[in-house]
Structure 1
Amino acid sequence: MHKIYGHGASEVRALDGIDLQIYPGEFVAVMGASGSGKSTCMNIVGCLDTPTSGQYLFHDVEVGELDRDQLALLRRHYIGFV
């Protein structure tokens, strides 16, 4: 998965080819240096943002194809942040 902000000389690659699998029942801690893409990653995982390219599958469903109401339902029933 990739997330790019801006374009040209001001392009920032916030995520550059990450691959993440989280299985049912797992708890995950995201750690890293400032500016390493933690918040961007969590915003995509939490369905608050979308990747520039790549796939985000949740229960074998492509999240990018869901509408706003479906995303809200997914967040409400399956995703939590602390």
Structure 2
Amino acid sequence: MNSPADPNFKTRLTDPKAMVAQVKALLVKGIQPDEIAPELSKIYYVDVDLLNAVLRVVRKMAASAKGPEEPKADGQSDGQNRAAA
């Protein structure tokens, strides 16, 4: 069994709140979302499914922060042809 004094000791990162906090901290430091998993795995045993869920939410939030999608040049924003009534 490993002790905290062991240099190879890693804790588990499986709590959603802790995972979000770590991801936010890495993003603030300028780490790209694609590099978060390798960075976290250097320090923690990571719940990969939870990390993917957190990163999915982060990407959605980043996309929505950029604002709504620009309308297309032909006036159709969703690709459907709508006839005037």
Which of the two has greater helix per residue?
A: 2
Structure with bigger RCO (C-alpha 8 Å, 6+ apart): 2
Which of the two has greater strand per residue?
A: 1
Bigger CA radius of gyration: 2
